[in-house]
Structure 1
Amino acid sequence: MFARKNRAERTADEAWEHLSSAWATAGDSAGRAAGRAGRKGRRLASRAGDRVTSVTDEAVTRASAAADALAGRRPSRPWLLIAGVGLLGAALGWAAASTARAAIERQAENEEIELAETAVVVTPTYDDH
């Protein structure tokens, strides 16, 4: 029981370190980007702002995921992706079934034509005796 508690505590400590690191990285990147923007003008300011936004968004996303993990909340399921994959699978299954059905029908038609071409017509003969 103590080993499990220690492992849980270690996991929580690691998650906290990752969370702290993500926030620190976002702050450092924002500071560097702002400094470069001040030296090189408006064009770089726009680029730096975009970079800061993307880094900050990533940091916030990771920090939220870490906080949720520390709180014991599981990530939500991507229902839209699951539904999309299900629909794609259904469409592919329908296409495969239609193709197989058409192939079987063609094979049956070919066999019927072959039987008609090779059929021997036997007519009975009647004796009047």
Structure 2
Amino acid sequence: MNAQEVTDMFAGKNRAERTAEEAWEHLSSAWSTAGDNAGRAGRRGRRLAARAGGRVSSATDEALTRASAAADALAGRRPARPWGLIVAVGVIGAAAGWALASAARAALERQAENEEIELAETAVVVTPTYDDH
């Protein structure tokens, strides 16, 4: 290994360390912000519960959600699948498919009935006649 390879190896490590340190700083900041928002929400909630409670609570929830996602990402955990949304889309798709199939079946039945009526109206009835010759 030459001197340049050693320098490149340590430079890469420094970049990785810097990236991890920046991620840790962002995560620490997010947790701190979430905690500060929660503290402010508690104080403001006592004074302005009816007006500001919902907005502060949603900001706190968002900060905690983002901080948790950042912690999971740093730990190498993947985000969970939104199973509720997947099931809801599946149910809606099944209902739409059933509705379309029912409509198609009804349209085919109406078409068959109309064809029968048309055939009955245009049919020629031949009755045999008997001549006594």
Q: Same fold (TM over 0.5)?
A: yes
The verdict on how the C-alpha distance between 1:72 and 1:94 changes in structure 2, with shifts beyond 3 A counting, is same
Which residue pairs with 1:22 in the alignment?
30
Q: Which of 88, 93, 96 is the aligned partner of 1:92?
A: 96
SS in 2 for 1:120: coil
The Cα shift of 1:125 comes to 5.6
Structure 2 gaps of 5+ residues are: 1-8
Find the aligned partners of 1:11 and 1:96 in 2 and give their Cα distance: 53
Give 3-state SS (helix, strand or coil) of 2:106's partner. helix
C-alpha displacement at 1:23, in angstroms? 2.8
TM-score of the aligned structures, taking structure 2 as reference length: 0.66
Choose from 54, 66, 69 the match for 2:70: 66
Do 2:41 and 2:57's aligned partners in 1 also have CA atoms closer than 8 Å? no
CA RMSD of aligned residues (A): 3.6
> How far did residue 59 of structure 1 move?
1.8
Q: Match for 2:83: what amino acid?
A: W
Unaligned runs of 5+ in 1: none
What is the match of residue 103 of structure 1? 107
Structure 1 length-normalised TM: 0.68
For these two proteins, the number of residue pairs brought into alignment is 120
Checking the alignment, whether the CA contact within 8 Å between 1:29 and 1:55 is kept in structure 2 is yes
Percentage of matched positions with identical amino acids = 78
2:110 & 2:49 partners in 1: Cα distance?
Answer: 67
Letter in 2 for 1:23: W
Deviations 1:67-125 (A, max 9, x none): 11111101111212211111111111001000110011001101110110011123456
